[in-house]
């Protein structure tokens, strides 16, 4: 009699479901199941399954080719697992329990870390850093040795035939498995297994077609159809290039009103401090059970020696972190896994990274009010931090030694133990000011705005790529043609993606902001000598004329908004609901949707505070709040006015 049937699966599901396709959690533990008791065709219908418990059975391996795309947690503890390679179809598993399997070796554990690219928690312990070391650093060392073996002892047959290639592959792979040595003898079985795979990949790279690293990246906007043209009354009649589909036509510009002005980064908490520069702010993401981030009204700000967490609605500083002698220049939020030990599954938690003058990254878990760690990222000051939004443990740090480093900071356990590993070094010509990762392929490329221009780097790990890299291309702009001895427009001091394809960038001394297409720009062939490509400009936005640098812009993709402050305390807002990537602006720059005037706060004993420079701005994903940071120690919170 069959042990696993559709009826049994529905009975074992939690919460109860009417169809197999709806089941999210399934407990099949302690049923004395063997491999033959698990029908692949039936189990393949569990397309929404996120958590599967198969502990306490008699399984020697996992069913081959069983694909469960939503599976994040798998418990195979207390079985008789001998072969782990059949788990390779579970590419999205983040947590795996294997304790109590007597035949599992260290080499098997290493194989699992390579086979499961998203594995972070193994038998209750955070292994994300070790796993990424195996996937990239260890594997790169093996690739180097495999390439050396080929160059010294092998060559392609002439002519190339299928029969000769089969024989060559067999000999090359066998030789590599026996001669390529790396790592301790205790994991020699893993090394031979990994070398066999990499040797086949290397041979294929010599004969097969090369693929684009991000061939799957989306290059267009979601809807390019034009169903209705929007006509604006003066003075916004120049928005003739903004086309709206029926849905975006309903998305009206928001109205914002000043809500709070806070003076919370004062030196020694002095009320007389109107000089501390505030540099960076970002809203906390609220992760759901799958780690996807939503909106929040909690914003982090940094400047001087402190980091503040502010509730935008109440206008209150909820938490404050001070480091005497530090001056914070940048911060970034991310979501990582926290392992809790025992039989408890890992949970997602929001962390904050901050850095500045001392070159040290501080790691903070605000919910528990714990600054749980730090690591030195540079001997020079840090200018910018950015997490990979799809792999929250990958952190980029830009510094004044003209480098961007990529780190794996791993997750944390219940005791806040963590481990940091350096993965990449990007050589920059000058100080990096901003870092942006393409929304659809954040692990393939990195854009950095610098003192000497806008540069693009390949950040894909593995695949024979070096861990120290120079720029892949420089993206240039039309204003460069107007440079002379008094005007150098190469400093790019603002950069952000407006949607999956359109990028907003700002050049110092130029009174407009460029909107350009990432997909159409990156497919161009760079100049062989300069590596330059021209940005495919879609439109220009009218902005302020100022000689003050480093006034950063920001975007709210969900609401099609771009915002930038100026040197008079004003906030320039642009509502851009559906700029077609195939359009091209040939007329005058597009005017702002609204310019928010400086609210002119009054301070006791000081009278009115004149408009300062706005160094940084941030919006929550729903654009309920807009936060601006000034160079006079003031945080300004604006709130969206709801329609009556």
CATH number, domain 228-641:
2.130.10.10
Could you give phi then psi for residue 520, rounded to 5 degrees? Answer: -75, -25
* CA nearest neighbour of 121 among 140, 98, 141, 104: 98
* CA nearest neighbour of 280 among 435, 81, 431, 63: 435
Task: Let me know if 460 is exposed, middle or buried by CB neighbors in 10 A (0-12, 13-18, 19+).
Answer: middle
Q: What share of the chain is helix, strand, coil (3-state, %, to 5)?
A: 20, 35, 45
Tokens 């002698």 locate to 325
C-alpha distances out from residue 204 to 197, 212, 582, Å: 11, 15, 37
Note the pLDDT of residue 584: 55
Instruction: Decide: 629 and 260 in contact? Cβ < 8 Å.
Output: no
Instruction: Decide: 435 and 480 in contact? Cβ < 8 Å.
Output: no
Note the pLDDT of residue 219: 37
Note the pLDDT of residue 408: 93
Note the pLDDT of residue 183: 85
Per CATH, is 6-104 categorized as 3.80.10.10?
yes
User: Cis omega before residue 99 (within 30°)?
Assistant: no
C-alpha distances out from residue 633 to 112, 493, 614, 636, Å: 50, 21, 11, 10
Angle at 155 between CA 149 and CA 156, to 5 degrees: 135
E strands, 73-204, are 73-75, 95-97, 121-122, 125-126
Separation of alpha carbons 99 and 153, rounded Å:
43
Query: In this predicted model, what pLDDT tens digit does every residue of 216-267 receive, in sequence order?
Result: 333 333 333 322 222 222 332 222 223 333 343 336 788 999 999 999 999 8
| Structural domain spans, the chain | 6-104, 130-207, 228-641
User: Cis omega before residue 94 (within 30°)?
Assistant: no
Note the pLDDT of residue 221: 38
Note the pLDDT of residue 585: 55
Topology match between the domains 6-104 and 228-641: no
Note the pLDDT of residue 291: 45
Q: What is the mean pLDDT of each run of 10 residues along the chain (644 residues)?
A: 86 92 95 94 95 95 95 96 95 94 94 94 88 86 91 91 92 94 90 94 77 38 32 28 35 88 88 90 74 71 96 94 95 90 80 97 93 96 96 96 95 87 93 96 94 95 76 95 90 96 96 95 90 94 95 95 96 86 65 93 74 95 95 95 76
Q: What is the DSSP track for 369-436?
A: TEEEEEEE--SS-EEEEEE-SSSTTEEEEEETTTEEEEEE---EETT-----EEEEEEE-SS-EEEEE
């Amino acid at each position: 009699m069959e042990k696993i049937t559709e009826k049994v699966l529905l009975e074992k599901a939690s919460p109860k479901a009417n169809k197999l396709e709806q089941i999210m959690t399934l407990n099949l533990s302690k049923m004395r199941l063997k491999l033959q008791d698990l029908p692949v065709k039936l189990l393949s219908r569990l397309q929404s399954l996120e958590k599967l418990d198969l502990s306490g059975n008699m399984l020697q391996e996992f069913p081959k080719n069983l694909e469960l795309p939503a599976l994040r947690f798998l418990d195979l503890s207390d079985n008789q697992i001998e072969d782990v390679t059949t788990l390779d179809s579970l590419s999205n598993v983040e947590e795996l329990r294997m304790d109590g399997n007597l035949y599992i070796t260290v080499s098997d554990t290493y194989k699992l870390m390579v086979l499961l690219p998203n594995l972070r928690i193994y038998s209750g312990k955070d292994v994300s850093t070790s796993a990424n070391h195996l996937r990239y650093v260890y594997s790169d060392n093996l690739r180097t040795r495999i390439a050396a073996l080929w160059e010294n002892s092998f060559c392609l047959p002439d002519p190339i035939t299928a029969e000769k290639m089969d024989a060559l592959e067999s000999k090359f792979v066998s030789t590599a498995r026996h001669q390529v040595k790396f790592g301790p003898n205790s994991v020699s079985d893993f090394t031979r297994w990994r070398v066999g795979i990499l040797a086949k990949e290397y041979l294929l790279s010599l004969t097969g077609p090369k693929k684009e690293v991000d061939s799957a990246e989306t290059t267009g906007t979601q809807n390019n159809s034009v169903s209705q043209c929007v006509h604006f009354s003066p003075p916004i009649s120049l928005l003739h290039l903004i086309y709206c589909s029926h849905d975006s036509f309903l998305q009206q510009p928001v109205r914002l009103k000043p809500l709070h002005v806070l003076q919370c980064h004062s030196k020694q908490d002095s009320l007389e401090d109107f000089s501390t520069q505030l540099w960076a702010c970002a809203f906390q993401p609220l992760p759901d059970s799958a780690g996807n981030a939503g909106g929040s009204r909690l914003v982090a700000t940094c400047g001087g020696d402190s980091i503040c967490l502010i509730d935008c609605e109440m206008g209150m500083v909820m938490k404050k972190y001070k480091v005497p002698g530090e001056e914070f220049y940048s911060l970034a939020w991310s979501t990582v896994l926290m392992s809790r030990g025992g039989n408890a599954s890992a949970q997602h938690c929001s962390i904050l990274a901050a850095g500045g003058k001392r070159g040290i990254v501080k790691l903070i878990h605000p919910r528990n009010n714990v600054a749980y760690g730090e690591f030195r990222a540079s001997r020079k000051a840090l200018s910018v931090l950015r997490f990979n939004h799809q792999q929250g443990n990958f952190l980029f740090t830009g510094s004044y030694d003209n480098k961007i480093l990529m780190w794996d900071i791993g997750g944390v356990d219940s005791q806040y133990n963590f481990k940091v590993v350096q993965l990449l070094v990007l050589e920059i010509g000058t100080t990096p000011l901003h870092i942006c990762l393409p929304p659809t392929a954040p692990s393939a490329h990195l854009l950095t705005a610098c003192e000497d221009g806008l540069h693009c780097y390949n950040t894909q790990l593995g695949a024979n790529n070096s861990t120290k890299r120079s720029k892949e291309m420089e993206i240039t702009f039309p204003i460069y043609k107007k440079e002379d001895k008094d005007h150098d427009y190469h400093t790019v001091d603002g950069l952000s993606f407006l949607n999956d394809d359109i990028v907003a960038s700002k050049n110092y001394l130029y009174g407009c902001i460029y909107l350009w297409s990432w997909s159409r720009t990156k497919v161009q062939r760079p100049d062989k000598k300069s590596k330059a490509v021209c940005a495919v400009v879609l439109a220009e936005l009218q902005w302020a004329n100022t000689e003050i640098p480093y006034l950063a812009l920001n975007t709210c993709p969900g609401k099609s908004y771009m915002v930038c402050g100026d040197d008079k305390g004003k906030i320039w807002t642009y509502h851009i609901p559906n700029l077609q990537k195939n359009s091209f602006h040939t007329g005058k720059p597009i005017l702002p949707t609204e310019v928010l005037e400086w609210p002119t706060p009054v301070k006791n004993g000081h009278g009115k505070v004149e408009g300062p420079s706005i160094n940084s701005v941030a919006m929550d994903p729903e654009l309920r709040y807009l936060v601006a940071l000034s160079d006079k120690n003031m945080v300004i919170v604006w709130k969206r006015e709801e329609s009556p």
